[in-house]
Amino acid sequence: MAGEFTELTTGHLIALIGFLLGAIAGWVARWARFCTFGAVEDMVLTGDQRRLKSWALAIAIAMVAVQLMHVSDIARIDETFYLGTQFHWAGAIVGGLLFGLGMALVGTCGFGTLVRIGGGDLKAFVTFLVMGLTAYMTAGGVTGYARRFVLEAVDLDLASIGGQGLPHLTAALFGVDAQVLWLPMALVFAGLLLAWCFSNGGLNGNSRDVASGIIIGLVVAGGFAATGIIGSDPFEPASVRSLSYVISPGRAVIYLLTFIGTTIDFSIALVFGTLAGSFAAAIWNKELRIEAYDDAREMQRHLLGAFLMGFGGVSAYGCTIGQGVSGMATLSAAAPLALGSIFIGATCGLNYLLTGSVRDALDLTFRFIRQRA
């Protein structure tokens, strides 16, 4: 009987870990209401920064853990596309703005979409399909032409300095060795984030927000560890990656359509794990309920938002989790560009929903940025 079972390969093991990490992330997100757009919404509308600080805590935890692996040379972090030699600055900015705008129209990000599906939200299921397929088309299909021939046409080649990591840029500017900068820069940035997280009361006493930030940060680090360490198998190598929720939903759909001829991997399993974790949390908390569109106008807004998230997320090489946490953890120079653009796009989209005027939305957004600068 034992011979009838297929041996667990390296790829299967990595996929299994991706599923488990996704399940943890999905559970925590529903339990703690860990949502990037919700954090932006709280800050813009009420000035409440608790959820945003929980999210910043996740970045700090992931950054330190990932850079410890990097300097220890155990997880091949330098092989990630986040630190590649092509600096996609235009894609990070334009794609980030579009993703943020789409996020506002939908009311959540790619990660939040999966979490909502787990609770029975049919609107999120439609968003998942449209966003995922648009992302897949943008990566290698019809809508990819705009990305490749417009946004990537102005990419900067940073091969001469070793890549697009912030330590690479700093080393080139000051003429020092980039290798000695990774962990110190991570500790400085993480320290600043932690100081902000617990300033003015911040996360003090908010055990749920603290716990969710720490867990999500460790899950992101776990993704890099699984793909970077276990995936170093010379006979079955895996690309180094961690949590990201833009093209992964599209790849999950394609996997289901071509199951016989397709192999599951970390990113696909991550999607299914996140759905499972959110569903389990919804059952546990008795939150499972079916939700649908109120009218055709709401559906139109969600469809447009899902399309913008799919195109913008791939153009920016990540979403609020993919660039916002995973990318930031690698100290990629593109990550803060994408992240800042996502925040601006989301704020502008939120203001548009409130005012119904593009001009007023832009005015309120610029005013908000000036106040925070």
Residues 61-95 pLDDT 10s: 999 999 999 999 999 999 999 999 999 999 999 99
| Within a domain: 243 | yes
3-state secondary structure of 239: coil
Count of structural domains within the chain: 1
Residues 325, 187: Cα–Cα separation, whole Å: 15
| Within a domain: 246 | yes
- The reported pTM is 0.94
| Within a domain: 305 | yes
Rg of the Cα atoms in the chain: 20
| Within a domain: 162 | yes
The pLDDT confidence band at residue 373, using thresholds 50, 70 and 90, is low
Domain that holds residue 303: 7-146+158-372
What's the mean per-residue pLDDT of the chain?
92
The pLDDT confidence band at residue 206, using thresholds 50, 70 and 90, is confident
The pLDDT confidence band at residue 225, using thresholds 50, 70 and 90, is very high
Answer whether 96's CB lies under 8 Å from 346's CB: no
Q: What does the pLDDT average to over 22-51?
A: 92
Residues 246, 268: Cα–Cα separation, whole Å: 11
CA dihedral 186, 268, 75, 239 (to 10 degrees): -110
Q: What does the pLDDT average to over 26-35?
A: 94
pLDDT tens, residue by residue, 114-144: 999 999 999 999 999 999 999 999 998 888 8
pLDDT tens, residue by residue, 152-199: 999 999 999 999 999 999 999 999 999 999 999 999 999 999 999 998
| Within a domain: 153 | no
Answer whether 22's CB lies under 8 Å from 277's CB: yes
| Within a domain: 167 | yes
Residues 322, 47: Cα–Cα separation, whole Å: 25
| Within a domain: 76 | yes
pLDDT beyond 80 at 6: no
| Within a domain: 223 | yes
Residues 190, 29: Cα–Cα separation, whole Å: 22
